Chain A
Amino acid sequence: MAIKFPSVDFFQELARRMAADPAGFEKLGFCDTVMGVKVEGDSSHLYALTFDVFECSDVRELASPGDAELDFTLEAPLELWREMFESIKKTGHPEPAYSLNSLSHVGDRMRVVYDEPEGHDAFYRFMATIQAFVDQSAELEIEWA
């Protein structure tokens, strides 16, 4: 069954799959951060994903960034998120240009928004876990909003 993107259900499904793969995520180590995902489009959506030890323990849609203490937020238009997930779909991993780091580095196609440098650095400290989390989407059938 297709899952709509963007939606709370989409991220909850990734969280459920993360919990179902303890060996894979325990190997990557503790991951403790609250990450924002902003999908920009005709109607923008902002989600807070709480990573806690080896799980994504909470997924919420926020009315505004101040509704949660976000370490950092990844912001990009819907079309870019779609390109990224379609790239992941091909092999289970993104092509080099579509890794989260590549997208958010030079050119700032995806923006990393943060207040505190330590929150910003959390994105890099937990990069392998966060990338593995989104890579799980390869197995999902996605219905684009």
Chain B
Amino acid sequence: MSYYGSTDYSYNSDFNLRIQDIKKGSLDFGWLDDARDTVEVRRRDPRRGLTLEDVEVGDYAIENTPEVVRDNRGLAPRGAILTEGSVQPDLGPTLNKKTDVWGYRVQRYWEEAMSRQWNVTTDVPWQDMDKHEIPDDIEYAFCQLCTLLSEVEMIATDLPSKWSHHMNSHFQEVKGFIATQCIDEARHAEVFRKRALANGVGLLRASVRGEHALKGILEADSYSEGSVFLHVLGEGFILTLFRSSEFISPTPVEQRMFQLVMQDEARHVSYGLQHLKYLMDNCPEVRPQINGFLDEAERHLTGLFNPDQLESMIVLGGKGTTPECIKKGIEVVGAFQGKQIAEYFHRAERAGLPERKERSPLLELQRRMLGAVQAA
């Protein structure tokens, strides 16, 4: 035990006497003394049930929260009444400024996440796997891809978990959204593990370069840096990789799997984009810091272009290991890598960082890869 409270309630006579009184029926209803006027909550669309936006009213609304939360460093949710004269325990949140975490439309992303949950065990048509014959070289390549994707999903689970308890409880919507991201990413790691094992090949080689890249995400100095690396840069690239993986899926089973994971990934990218946009709109002074961080993050990310992953994608893209297949696979992979980079720059530009295109090492990487293809 590393935390001992300032009061031992089990031996506190005032507290025990009061509890005894209550149990004898002597209620004083003091908890109603500070009650505010009631609020009017309206369900705007009965098909959606009661949404977070429906309960954004009065003192409960994020718009009515100060930009910096100073009066609550504990677990009291936004809108709860803090007892006068008492001190809530300080849980040490370090993200107390709205711009530290907030993103436009975060309430909607949380609702969307909750309504679009799916189940690896029952929503992927595993029973159809026996209907399809997959050549060995394709199966091995697919399992190598699943291995890398499992590693990626581990970090995408850990990053939001790492930052959640640092967020002030006033930002409940962000904490809630990144909690849904944790379960999404855990589900992705589950689906890739199950698929790698389903045909007996299992997981293949873990990626040293890839894991160095992923470590950079976890070690970000601030939540915003971690978010822009994970949500915008990393998951943006992985979203395109998922799209490509659906495109080169050996059977409809894998295709379904990628359709489902892509939906979750795109939602995380959208939140990241809206957080970056909110940050740039409301706290432009952090721009040099974010740019400096991305200069390094983009270098880290090149670690995901590791030879094992690249080769397995080429085999999947070309549907085999003959020279013709490999040639075709190189073209397919080159095309989607170009998309990854172009879509990232477009997102960065719309979030308010158009200079990424000039500063980024990714374009040079792409030029080198294209040069290698042309020289071959």
Please measure, in the bound complex, the distance between the C-alpha atom of A31 and the C-alpha atom of B255, giving whole angstroms.
Answer: 20
* Cβ-defined contact, A96 with B252, below 8 A: yes
* Cβ-defined contact, A128 with B260, below 8 A: yes
A127 at the interface (CB under 8 A from B): yes
* Cβ-defined contact, B262 with A29, below 8 A: no
A residues 45-92 touching B (CB-CB < 8 Å): 53-54
Of the candidates B243, B249, B343, the one having the most CB atoms from chain A within 10 angstroms of its own CB is B243
Q: Report whether over half of chain B's contact residues are helix, strand or loop; otherwise say mixed.
A: helix
* Cβ-defined contact, B350 with A101, below 8 A: no
Please measure, in the bound complex, the distance between the C-alpha atom of A67 and the C-alpha atom of B81, giving whole angstroms.
Answer: 48
Chain A residues with CB under 8 A of B265: 124
B48 at the interface (CB under 8 A from A): yes
Convert B259-273 into 0s and 1s, putting 1 for each residue whose CB lies closer than 8 angstroms to a CB of A. Answer: 110110111011001
* Cβ-defined contact, B48 with A30, below 8 A: yes
Identify 14 new A-B residue pairs, CB closer than 8 A, beyond the known A30-B116, A116-B350: A28-B116, A29-B117, A30-B111, A53-B48, A96-B255, A105-B246, A106-B244, A106-B332, A118-B350, A121-B266, A122-B270, A123-B266, A124-B263, A124-B265
B239 at the interface (CB under 8 A from A): yes
Chain B residues with CB under 8 A of A101: 243, 246-247, 258-259, 262
Known contacts A117-B343, A118-B273, A128-B259; is A105 also within 8 Å of B336 by CB?
A: yes
Chain B residues with CB under 8 A of A7: none
Chain A residues with CB under 8 A of B71: none
Closest to A115 in B: B350
Contact among A99, A120, A122 for B259, CB-based, below 8 A: A99
B22 at the interface (CB under 8 A from A): no
Give the size of the chain B interface in residues (CB under 8 angstroms): 38
Please measure, in the bound complex, the distance between the C-alpha atom of A88 and the C-alpha atom of B128, giving whole angstroms.
Answer: 18
Chain B residues with CB under 8 A of A117: 273, 343, 346-347, 350
* Cβ-defined contact, A124 with B47, below 8 A: no
Contact among B45, B111, B262, B339 for A127, CB-based, below 8 A: B262
Closest Cβ of chain A to B234, distance in Å, is 15
A44 at the interface (CB under 8 A from B): no
Known contacts A53-B48, A106-B336; is A125 also within 8 Å of B347 by CB?
A: no
Contact among B111, B116, B246 for A99, CB-based, below 8 A: B246
* Cβ-defined contact, B47 with A54, below 8 A: yes
Task: Offer 30 A-B interface pairs, CB within 8 angstroms, sorted by A.
Answer: A29-B117, A30-B116, A53-B47, A53-B48, A54-B47, A96-B249, A96-B251, A99-B246, A101-B246, A101-B259, A105-B244, A105-B336, A105-B339, A106-B335, A117-B343, A118-B273, A122-B270, A124-B239, A124-B243, A124-B263, A124-B265, A125-B116, A125-B263, A125-B270, A126-B263, A127-B262, A127-B263, A128-B260, A128-B263, A131-B259
Chain A residues with CB under 8 A of B262: 101, 124, 127
Please measure, in the bound complex, the distance between the C-alpha atom of A126 and the C-alpha atom of B347, giving whole angstroms.
Answer: 19
Which range contains the number of A residues in contact with the other chain? 20 to 34
Chain A residues with CB under 8 A of B269: 121
Chain A residues with CB under 8 A of B246: 99, 101-102, 105
Chain B residues with CB under 8 A of A127: 259, 262-263, 266
Chain B residues with CB under 8 A of A54: 47
B289 at the interface (CB under 8 A from A): no
Convert A12-37 into 0s and 1s, putting 1 for each residue whose CB lies closer than 8 angstroms to a CB of B. Answer: 00000000000000001110100000
Contact among B47, B258, B270 for A121, CB-based, below 8 A: B270
Chain B residues with CB under 8 A of A121: 239, 266-267, 269-270, 273
Chain A residues with CB under 8 A of B2: none
Closest Cβ of chain A to B64, distance in Å, is 26
B residues 85-113 touching A (CB-CB < 8 Å): 108, 111-112
Closest Cβ of chain B to A69, distance in Å, is 15
Chain B residues with CB under 8 A of A107: 335
B residues 112-142 touching A (CB-CB < 8 Å): 112, 115-117
Please measure, in the bound complex, the distance between the C-alpha atom of A124 and the C-alpha atom of B264, giving whole angstroms.
Answer: 9
B157 at the interface (CB under 8 A from A): no
B274 at the interface (CB under 8 A from A): yes
Closest Cβ of chain B to A104, distance in Å, is 9
Chain A residues with CB under 8 A of B335: 106-107
Please measure, in the bound complex, the distance between the C-alpha atom of A54 and the C-alpha atom of B255, giving whole angstroms.
Answer: 23
Please measure, in the bound complex, the distance between the C-alpha atom of A105 and the C-alpha atom of B45, giving whole angstroms.
Answer: 35
A38 at the interface (CB under 8 A from B): no
Chain B residues with CB under 8 A of A93: 252
Closest to B331 in A: A106
Contact among B115, B244, B266, B332 for A29, CB-based, below 8 A: B115
* Cβ-defined contact, A125 with B266, below 8 A: yes
Chain A residues with CB under 8 A of B260: 128
Known contacts A96-B252, A124-B266; is A29 also within 8 Å of B247 by CB?
A: no
